[in-house]
């Protein structure tokens, strides 16, 4: 019979595995797929068929290959609840741009996120962390560290950096939570994105009238040719990317260290140890749990499979970061591991703009937390923590803890 080979493949292609056995390990099915083939067909909830890549070398190669576009308007999402971005979301969204548009914006922003600049923020981050620890000690145990420590610290830091009023956090936390949730309807996600855009548009207009010294105001006064729509997109991206990611790394990193006392001891050994530990936590936890996507701009052969123009490729950052082809004992957390080229921040031209900031925040906040709250421990059994299976960024919904007073 004349069975169409394309639809036959579509019918057989599995969906992205998301079921975890251990809450701190990626879905075991990903390891099986990674060991069997470098590239495998994938079905998407929107009905499209595309591809899944799980090996470290391949994920990096595709992220560095300009035959694959970062476009998020035409890409399919591997999980439900992540509707594509719309045409009107494009301005300023460097995450979804290719060269040369991407280069123009990235060049404007890079000088503000250098290692040197981010290191210069360290004293302010230390102050913010110390204030939150003071408040925790004043209130006494028990506490949920998500609303009292892990979320407010990166939020306040990115607000100050951008020039966003911290009083508005209630609103933008809710919008970005709705935008990242897999259980909200597409209409709710669209509404949350629209609300974030509207909020940022008003803020940009206010900065035009009265620029300040923070980043958005500086981009206006520095004589860049950025339009208001671009400034709005940049502000929205930085605000969301700048707090949700680091917040979840802080919370999940804390859970991880609390449940592995030997690793916690090694982490607390020296400031040098803290830097390495942060990298290892980034690798081990890889909170961008469904990875990232790229869209083929032309037909490309990848390991003998024909990737058609327009097809979406899912690059599983969690699978790549546990690839035994690249890492020794990949499923072991070893906070003394030497630098290992993990892809928790991506790779290539879109590699995380905020990575130095995230590192500064994680090093300072995690160090101060374990120094500042002696005898810190979970207030519930680890298996009762509510994991963020339902969010694009993995972590815990709450982090109940106790400590000695
Ligand atoms: C890009 C992860 C913190 C801003 C990315 C990408 C990843 C990532 C994987 C690349 C996505 C892709 O190629 O499709 C993380 C993680 C963080 C973190 C794990 C925390 C631990 C931050 C912070 C900021 C930020 C604090 C803001 C200050 C951005 C921006 C991009 C980006 C603007 C897009 C860069 C571009 O397209 O050129 N991040 N990020 N991120 N991140 Fe982060």
Measured at the alpha carbon of residue 303, what is the angle toward residues 321 and 292, in degrees to the nearest 5?
A: 40
340 alpha carbon to ligand 1 midpoint, in Å? Answer: 19
Q: Which 8-state DSSP code applies to residue 26? A: -
Alpha carbon nearest to ligand 1 atom 2, residue: 345
Query: Does ligand 1 come within 6 angstroms of the Cβ of 354?
Result: yes
| Residue closest to 22 by CA, chosen among 305, 403, 383 | 383
- Burial of 179-217, coded b for 16+ CB within 10 Å and e otherwise, reads bbbbebeeeebbebbebbbebbbebbeebeeebeeebbb
Q: Output helix, strand, coil percentages for the chain, rounded to the nearest 5.
A: 50, 10, 40
Helix H or strand E segment including 108: helix 101-109
> Residue 120 C-alpha to ligand 1 middle, in angstroms?
20
In the block, residue with structure tokens 């950052």 = 317
Cβ pair 42, 314 in contact under 8 A: yes
Ligand 1 pocket residue status of 95, Cβ below 6 Å: yes
Ligand 1, atom 38, residue with closest C-alpha: 350
**Mean pLDDT, residues 323-334:** 97
Q: How confident is the model at residue 3 (pLDDT cuts 50, 70, 90)?
A: very low
Interatomic CA distance for residues 338 and 398, integer angstroms = 31
Contacts of 52 (CB under 8 A, 6+ apart): 16, 33, 39, 40, 41, 42, 78, 313, 314, 316
Instruction: Tell how far the Cα of 238 is from the centroid of ligand 1, in angstroms.
Output: 9
Rounded to the nearest angstrom, the distance between the alpha carbon of 241 and the centre of ligand 1 is 6
Nearest residue CA, atom 5 of ligand 1?
A: 352
Q: What is the pLDDT of residues 223-282, one digit of tens each?
A: 888 999 999 999 999 999 999 999 999 999 999 999 999 999 999 987 789 999 999 999
In the reported structure, the alpha carbon of residue 11 is separated from the centroid of ligand 1 by a whole-number distance in angstroms of: 34
260: left (phi over 0), alpha (psi -120 to 50) or beta: beta
Q: Give the Å distance between the CA of 95 and the centre of ligand 1.
A: 8
Is the pLDDT confidence value at 137 over 90? Answer: yes
The pTM of this model reads 0.96
What is the full DSSP assignment across 65-76? -TTEE--SSSPP
Ligand 1 pocket mutation pick from 158, 245, 248, 357 by most atoms within 8 angstroms of CB: 245
Average pLDDT over residues 106-113: 96
Q: Is residue 105 exposed (0-12), middle (13-18) or buried (19+ Cβ within 10 Å)?
A: buried
- Residue 108: CB within 6 Å of ligand 1? no
């Amino acid at each position: 019979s004349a069975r169409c080979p394309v639809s036959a493949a579509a019918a057989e292609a599995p969906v992205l595995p998301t079921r975890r056995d251990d809450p701190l390990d990626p879905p075991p099915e990903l390891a099986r797929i990674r060991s069997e083939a470098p590239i495998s067909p994938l079905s998407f909830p929107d009905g499209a068929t595309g591809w899944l890549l799980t090996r470290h070398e391949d994920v990096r190669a595709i992220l560095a290959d300009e035959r694959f576009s970062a476009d998020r308007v035409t890409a399919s999402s591997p999980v439900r609840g992540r509707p594509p971005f719309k045409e009107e979301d494009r301005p300023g969204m460097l995450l979804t741009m290719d060269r040369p548009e991407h280069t123009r914006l990235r060049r404007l922003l890079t000088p503000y996120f250098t290692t040197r600049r981010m290191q210069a923020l360290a004293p302010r981050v230390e102050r913010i962390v110390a204030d939150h620890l003071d408040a925790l000690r004043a209130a006494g145990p028990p506490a949920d560290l998500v609303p009292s420590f892990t979320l407010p610290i990166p939020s306040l830091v990115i607000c100050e950096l951008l020039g966003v009023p911290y009083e508005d956090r209630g609103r933008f936390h809710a919008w970005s939570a709705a935008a990242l949730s897999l259980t909200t309807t597409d209409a709710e996600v669209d509404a949350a994105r629209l609300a974030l855009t509207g909020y940022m548009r008003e803020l940009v207009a206010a900065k035009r009238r009265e620029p300040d010294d923070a980043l958005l105001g500086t981009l206006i006064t520095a004589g860049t040719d950025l339009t208001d729509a671009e400034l709005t997109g940049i502000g929205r991206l930085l605000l969301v990317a700048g707090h949700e990611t680091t917040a979840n790394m802080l919370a999940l990193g804390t859970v991880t260290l609390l449940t592995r006392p030997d690793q916690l001891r090694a982490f607390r050994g020296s400031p040098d140890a803290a830097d390495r530990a942060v990298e290892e936590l980034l690798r081990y936890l890889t909170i961008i749990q469904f990875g990232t996507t790229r869209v083929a701009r032309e037909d490309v052969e990848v390991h003998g499979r024909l990737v058609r123009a327009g097809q979406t490729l899912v690059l599983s950052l969690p699978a790549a970061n546990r690839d035994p082809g690249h890492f020794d004992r990949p499923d072991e957390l070893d906070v003394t591991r030497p630098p290992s080229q993990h892809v928790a921040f991506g790779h290539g031209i879109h590699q995380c703009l905020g990575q130095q900031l995230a590192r500064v925040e994680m090093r300072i906040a995690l160090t101060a937390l374990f120094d500042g709250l002696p005898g810190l421990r979970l207030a519930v059994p680890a298996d009762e923590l509510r994991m963020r299976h339902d969010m694009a960024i993995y972590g815990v919904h709450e982090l109940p803890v106790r400590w000695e007073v």
